[in-house]
Amino acid sequence: MAVLAIATVAWLGSRATLIKNELEATTQLIPVLKENIAGDKPQEASATADQLRTHTAAAREAADDPLWTLASAVPGIGANFSAVAEVARSADDVSALGVVPLVKVFDSLYWDSLMPSSAGTDLGPLQKAAPSVSAAAHAVRVSADRLDSIDANGLLPQVAEPLTQARAQLRAVTGALDAAANASQLAPAMLGAEGPRNYLLMIQNNAEARASGGIPGALAVLTFDKGKLTLGTQSSASELGLFSPALPVDAEQQQIYSARLGEYMHDVNFTPDFPTAASTAQAMWEKKTGQRVDGVISMDPVALGYVLDATGPVKITAPELVALTQNGLPTELSGKNVVQTLLSDVYAKIAQPELQDAYFAGVAQETFKALSAGKGEAKGLISGITRGTSEGRVLLWSGDAQEQAVIAKYPLSGSIAGPSVSPAQFGVYFNDGTGAKMDYYVKRTVQLVQECTGDEYGEVKVRITSTNTAPADAATSLPAYVTGGGSFGVPAGTVQTNVIAYGPVQANVETAMVDGQKTDFAAHGHSNRPVGSLTVSLAPGQSSTVEFSFGKIVQHTEPTVVVTPSVQPVKDVILDTKTASCVSGR
């Protein structure tokens, strides 16, 4: 009997060693697989995936050993055997049902084939890939849920640690795979695989702040037809003029942002909720032009710069725009000079607003002409658009309710409520009150400061510091079109900004301070989120710090913040969350 017991223990030990070695081998192969994919090496990726599968299958086979299964049923110690078996099975499921199918899909897709071109793009491979991507995402999510259901309390450290690592690894990829699955399902139709799709393109001008980025200056219609991209009608918000009577707007948002949301295309994005702004823009465009677009795409000049980094420089070729370049504007735009040119130089070199709009529209036209011709490197373009999306500079809304329901799951939607909003998310948004283009000179930082409350609720201060970096003689050295020239009651050179802060759902906005002094503010609610707003005016060289305090926060997760994208890099604006020191005894 003793011999049998020793043999059993020895056998289980050998199985444990085998499982450990095989799973460690898979861990070492993951970076290799990522390298293969990043280097666009489908054959190498396929070979690496096959090796991965070999190791996970061996680990699973060892965990399915009859003695291992029997040991899993032993009270107390059995939970450890069971947990190891689940990790091995999940690893094999992810490998067989997730990694291998995805690598096969990768083998059939070529980045360059997805680039727009004058002849169109073959969207067939992407359509064929969609079921495989969806199945892989489902398999990985099921495995993640299975590991999350394991009670780690009481497990041996040698088991609990790998379980924790496996959970983290799966959680890190489930969201990305779900996004890839949704994109593969939506993209073909939205790119015109089933018929032409028209989108209103809004270029948000960060020099005059609006909550979602900047005033919608240049407008154009983008058409996708079987992957072929063309730029159609071009216009500007100024050309659309006043809408009277105003288009109907959600009463809750109208109370915060006024009826101007439905009166001027310039002001549809006073609200940070892009679905509201986009649907209003769609209605305005149809009312003025008679054309109903299928959706709205928004970009800012910084995101245009990311696109130009991929396509390479574009030349200004239209005769009427070439004439404008004789004023000192560049004849060639690139990712290095497009932001300064569009948000600053164009105002210094061109006095007439209608010609400024024409130059702005011309740059957009040349950029999208380069895209439609397939100019540039595909992965670089995707990387640039992805970067712009992550920074809130690229936004998308679909007029199709089913498509929009999927888009609403992601930050790309620009929603202030719903599945794309993290539980403890704050928002800081800026609307220009100068009536000019002075926001090019404003530098800002935003920081969340977690306070101690001594109870079950959270309390967070949202700290916003703004500085007007315009020259001291801005009133005379900058064009009146940039400063506003005092037309709206704001002294030339001064920047006036409406600062709006959102808290998480069900929280309260309690106090506001400006430069350490308590001040009055407007308190509102938007989609069950508390909203506080006040106005700040800054003369050249002046700085000011605004603090909104939010209390009764019920979400016990790490707070995050979304900020209006500006000319500044996002990394320079959003500072790390700070935790205030707790007073002993509280």
Cα-Cα end-to-end distance for the chain: 62
Of the listed ranges 213-217, 380-384, 412-416, 538-542, the least confidently predicted one is 380-384
pLDDT tens for each residue of 36-74? 766 667 788 788 778 878 877 887 887 787 877 787 777
* Burial label, 75 (beta-carbon count in 10 A; 0-12, 13-18, 19+): exposed
Domains 197-390 and 422-579 share a fold: no
User: E-assigned strands of 389-528?
Assistant: 395-398, 425-432, 442-451, 458-468, 495-502, 508-514, 517-518, 522-526
Query: 585 falls in which pLDDT band (50, 70, 90)?
Result: very low
* Backbone φ and ψ of 458, nearest 5°: -100, 160
pLDDT tens for each residue of 479-491? 999 999 988 899 9
- Which has more pLDDT, 337 or 370? 337
Say if residue 154's pLDDT is above 80. Answer: no
Q: What is the spatial distance between Cα 314 and Cα 341, in angstroms, rounded to a whole number?
A: 13
pLDDT tens for each residue of 310-336? 889 988 887 877 887 777 888 889 999
Q: Cβ(447)–Cβ(577) under 8 Å? A: yes
* Backbone φ and ψ of 54, nearest 5°: -60, -45
Q: What is the spatial distance between Cα 241 and Cα 463, in angstroms, rounded to a whole number?
A: 37
Say if residue 212's pLDDT is above 80. Answer: yes
pLDDT tens for each residue of 264-306? 999 999 999 999 999 999 999 999 999 999 999 999 999 999 9
Q: What is the spatial distance between Cα 295 and Cα 194, in angstroms, rounded to a whole number?
A: 16
Residues 204-213, mean pLDDT to the nearest whole number: 96
Structure-token match 């049902």, residue found: 97
Which CATH fold topology does 422-579 show?
Immunoglobulin-like (2.60.40)
Question: What does the domain layout of the chain look like in residue ranges?
Answer: 2-190, 197-390, 422-579
DSSP state of 123: -
Q: Which of 222-226, 350-354, 370-374, 458-462 has the highest mean pLDDT?
A: 458-462
Say if residue 586's pLDDT is above 60. Answer: no
Q: Give the Cα-Cα-Cα angle 516, 521, 524 (nearest 5 degrees).
A: 135
- Which has more pLDDT, 199 or 321? 199
Say if residue 7's pLDDT is above 70. Answer: no
The class level of CATH for 197-390 reads: alpha beta
Task: Report the percent of the chain where pLDDT is more than 90.
Answer: 49
C-alpha distance from residue 139 to each of 19, 55, 165, 225 (Å): 21, 18, 18, 33
Nearest to 269 by CA among 301, 233, 300: 300
Q: Could you tell me which residues come within 8 angstroms of residue 578 by beta carbon, excluding any fewer than 6 positions away?
A: 447, 448, 449, 450
Task: Enumerate the β-bridge partners of residue 219.
Answer: 202, 235
What is the pLDDT, as a whole number, of residue 584? 43
What is the pLDDT, as a whole number, of residue 361? 81
CA 264 from centroid of its chain's CA atoms: 26
Say if residue 156's pLDDT is above 70. Answer: no
Instruction: Give 149-154 contacts, CB < 8 A, sequence gap 24+.
Output: 150/82, 150/83, 150/86, 151/79, 152/83, 154/79
Pairing mode of beta strands 458-468, 197-210: unpaired
Q: SS3 of 484, please?
A: coil
Structure-token match 């099975």, residue found: 89
Q: What is the spatial distance between Cα 577 and Cα 447, in angstroms, rounded to a whole number?
A: 6
Provide the b/e sequence for 558-583 (b: ≥16 CB within 10 Å): ebbbbbbbbbbebeebbeeeeeeeee
